[in-house]
């Protein structure tokens, strides 16, 4: 096919039609045509030539131009597309490096193979432009709800027509076992938009907690206006969900506003979520109070919070245990997701039994270590003493409040406790020395002989070894693996070393070794304080 006046306007009309159909810029289609014609011209005139094509946007006339660039003598490699300054002087008066010499060449005729190649180039460019348009359109809509129409189902994944593109609702993002047929209307949450080789992928979800939050935002005007805020959401898609809300207006009840008149608002969300039961819970900054709310409908007798470990212990009446745990652990699992805490549930009987065991163990410790009779050891435990260190180093007045303990008895008790601790320290240090502990670690302030022994057993035998430890390796911590919190045991965790204390010990070791300059730490702290003040 030759580029003649007869089909010049057809080029522009074709570009306009393709652009309108694919909803992209007509210029992109014309540029693709120019590139395809340039490729065809190179196959005709020689692939080493720099042939460029320009299609006039008004007349449709295609101009074929051969371009040669002026380069330095030693850089001349391609004689068809480059020439030296000397060679260029016959075409221009004062050629400079980088100047271009353009000569118009006769238009080419596209044979069958060249025409097919040109068509492929145009299609490829159009696809790329279409992908860019789709990505730009949907990337800013992540986190919103979109209505679509089901096109087809592929291996359990639903392909959804979302207007100017397609979205994919994966099998694990559907609610329960819901099924869809072509042309069914569907409402989804846009979870992610990514550029991929085969085009932008819009990932949809109906199982995401955010989907339920967005549905409530649509149904409850107070949430949309910011008077009520959704603080946390936990879902078991298709079965049960918990949502925590807070009101910033004292006259508006957040739970009542979300439920609506006769349950109309929450029922609209439930219907969209295939009958999923929803517990609406008032948010509270106090973790134990919030947890009591989150475990509804179960009643809670007592809550014990361990903030360092991120764990919480809940005691419930015996008859409330199954209700608190829920079917297959659902209630406690959702409450855990909502609060971000690990929850241990005990009945009152189990807690009582555990307390009795702890009481017996501490009583036995004092009987064995301090050579006391059972009654006297029980008195110590009843007064709140839990270990030998407390007996040995507590103020004498705290021992004198115990019935039957005079000053001589108190002094004797403390002397016995200190003797036992000193003997234990001596044995621990002996063992640590046998394991090869160096003086640099022994002399480091802040570590007891038992701590040094535990470190040596873990392979930490010098101050350099200690300085390379991470704080969580010493104090222990929690890691989230596949959505579940997993405990990391710390070497010094049994000595009640907190994460902050571990950080201070490690940093002190690094300063002593000269790895860290204290001045740098002070400047960092000043920057942090300044940042906090500006934010406040």
- Show the CA angle centred on residue 489, arms to residues 442 and 515, nearest 5°: 45
Check residue 5 and give its pLDDT. 39
- CB within 8 A of 255, min separation 6: which ones? 245, 280, 281, 282
Check residue 411 and give its pLDDT. 85
What is the per-residue pLDDT across 476-529, written as a single tens digit (0 to 9) for each?
Answer: 876 666 656 677 788 888 888 888 888 889 999 998 888 888 776 665 555 455
Write the CA distances from 293 to 201, 228, 288, 332, integer angstroms. Answer: 40, 18, 9, 12
What is the per-residue pLDDT across 11-28, written as a single tens digit (0 to 9) for each?
Answer: 666 667 766 766 666 777
Q: Over the chain, what is the mean pLDDT?
A: 80
Check residue 12 and give its pLDDT. 66
Check residue 354 and give its pLDDT. 83
Q: In CATH, which of 1.20.1050.10, 3.40.50.280, 3.40.640.10, 3.30.1480.10 is domain 5-132? A: 3.30.1480.10
Check residue 157 and give its pLDDT. 86
Q: In CATH, which of 3.40.190.10, 2.40.50.140, 1.10.10.10, 2.60.40.150 is domain 141-207? A: 2.40.50.140
Check residue 2 and give its pLDDT. 40
Backbone angles phi, psi at 166, to 5 degrees: -125, 145
Residues of the chain above pLDDT 70, percent = 84
Q: Mean of the pLDDT values across residues 376-388?
A: 83
Please give the Cα distance from 122 to 130 (Å, whole number): 12
β-sheet bridge partners, residue 387 = none
What is the per-residue pLDDT across 108-158, written as a single tens digit (0 to 9) for each?
Answer: 665 555 556 656 666 777 777 777 777 777 888 888 888 989 988 888 888
Q: Is the pLDDT of residue 469 over 70?
A: yes
Q: Exposed/middle/buried for 496, CB within 10 Å: 0-12, 13-18, 19+?
A: exposed
Do 295 and 314 form a contact (C-beta atoms < 8 A)? yes
Check residue 453 and give its pLDDT. 92
Chain region(s) in the chain for CATH 2.40.50.140: 141-207
Q: Where on the phi/psi map is residue 328: left (φ > 0), alpha (ψ -120 to 50), or beta?
A: left
Helix (H) or strand (E) holding 101: strand 100-104
Check residue 436 and give its pLDDT. 92
What is the per-residue pLDDT across 20-51, written as a single tens digit (0 to 9) for each?
Answer: 766 666 777 777 777 777 777 777 777 777 77
Choose among 223, 342, 346, 212: nearest CA to 287: 342
Q: Residue 473's pLDDT band (boundaries 50, 70, 90)?
A: confident
- CB within 8 A of 448, min separation 6: which ones? 425, 428, 495
Check residue 344 and give its pLDDT. 81
Q: Identify which of 154-158, 279-283, 382-386, 484-488 has the greatest average pLDDT.
A: 279-283
Check residue 4 and give its pLDDT. 40
Check residue 14 and give its pLDDT. 67
Chain region(s) in the chain for CATH 3.30.1480.10: 5-132
Q: Is the pLDDT of residue 335 over 60?
A: yes
Q: Residue 198's pLDDT band (boundaries 50, 70, 90)?
A: low
What is the per-residue pLDDT across 204-257, written as a single tens digit (0 to 9) for each?
Answer: 999 898 999 999 999 989 988 889 999 989 988 888 889 999 999 888 899 999
Check residue 103 and give its pLDDT. 76
Cβ atoms within 10 A of the Cβ of 458, count? 16
Do 39 and 29 form a contact (C-beta atoms < 8 A)? no
């Amino acid at each position: 096919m030759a580029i003649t006046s007869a089909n010049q306007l057809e080029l522009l009309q074709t570009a306009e039609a393709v652009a309108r159909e694919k909803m992209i810029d007509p210029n992109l289609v014309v540029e693709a045509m120019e590139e395809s014609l340039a490729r065809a011209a190179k196959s005709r005139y020689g692939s080493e030539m720099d042939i460029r094509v320009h299609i006039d946007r008004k007349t449709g006339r295609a101009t074929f131009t051969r371009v040669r660039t002026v380069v330095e003598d030693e850089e001349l490699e391609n004689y068809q597309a480059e020439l030296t300054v000397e060679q260029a002087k016959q075409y221009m008066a004062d050629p400079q490096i980088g100047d271009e010499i353009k000569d118009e060449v006769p238009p080419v005729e596209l044979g069958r193979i060249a025409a097919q190649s040109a068509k492929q180039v145009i299609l490829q460019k159009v696809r790329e432009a279409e992908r860019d348009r789709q990505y730009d359109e949907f990337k800013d809509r992540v986190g919103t709800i979109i209505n679509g129409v089901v096109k087809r189902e592929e291996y359990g994944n639903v392909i959804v027509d979302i207007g100017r593109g397609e979205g994919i609702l994966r099998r694990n993002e559907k609610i329960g076992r819901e099924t869809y047929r072509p042309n069914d209307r569907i409402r989804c949450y846009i979870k992610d938009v990514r550029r991929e080789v085969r085009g932008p992928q819009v990932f949809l979800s109906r199982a995401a907690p955010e989907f339920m939050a967005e549905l409530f935002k649509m149904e409850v005007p107070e949430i949309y206006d910011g008077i009520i805020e959704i603080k946390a959401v936990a879902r078991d898609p298709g079965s049960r969900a918990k949502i925590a809300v807070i009101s910033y207006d004292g006259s508006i009840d957040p739970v009542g506003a979300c439920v609506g008149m006769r349950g109309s608002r929450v029922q609209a969300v439930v219907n969209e979520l295939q009958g999923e039961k929803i517990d609406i819970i008032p948010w509270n900054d106090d973790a134990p109070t919030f947890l009591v709310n989150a475990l509804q409908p179960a009643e809670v007798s007592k809550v014990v919070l361990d903030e360092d470990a991120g764990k919480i212990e809940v005691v419930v009446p015996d008859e409330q245990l199954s209700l608190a745990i829920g079917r297959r652990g659902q209630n406690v699992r959702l409450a855990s997701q909502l609060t971000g805490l690990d929850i241990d549930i005990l009945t009152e009987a189990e807690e009582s039994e555990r307390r009795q065991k702890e009481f017996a163990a501490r009583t036995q410790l004092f009987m064995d270590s301090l050579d006391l009779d059972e009654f006297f050891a029980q008195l110590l435990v009843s007064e709140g003493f839990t270990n030998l260190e407390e007996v040995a180093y507590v103020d004498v007045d705290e021992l004198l409040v115990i019935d039957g303990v005079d000053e001589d008895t108190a002094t004797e008790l403390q002397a016995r406790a200190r003797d036992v601790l000193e003997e234990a320290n001596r044995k621990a240090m002996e063992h640590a020395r046998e394991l090869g502990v160096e003086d640099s670690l022994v002399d480091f302030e802040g570590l007891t002989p038992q701590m040094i022994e535990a470190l040596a057993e873990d392979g930490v035998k010098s101050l350099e070894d200690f300085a390379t430890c991470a704080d969580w390796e010493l104090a222990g911590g929690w890691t989230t693996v596949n959505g579940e919190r997993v405990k990391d045991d710390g070497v010094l965790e049994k000595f009640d070393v907190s994460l902050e204390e571990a950080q201070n010990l490690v940093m002190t070791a690094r300063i002593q070794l000269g790895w860290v300059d204290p001045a740098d730490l002070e400047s960092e702290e000043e920057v942090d304080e300044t940042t906090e003040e500006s934010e406040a």
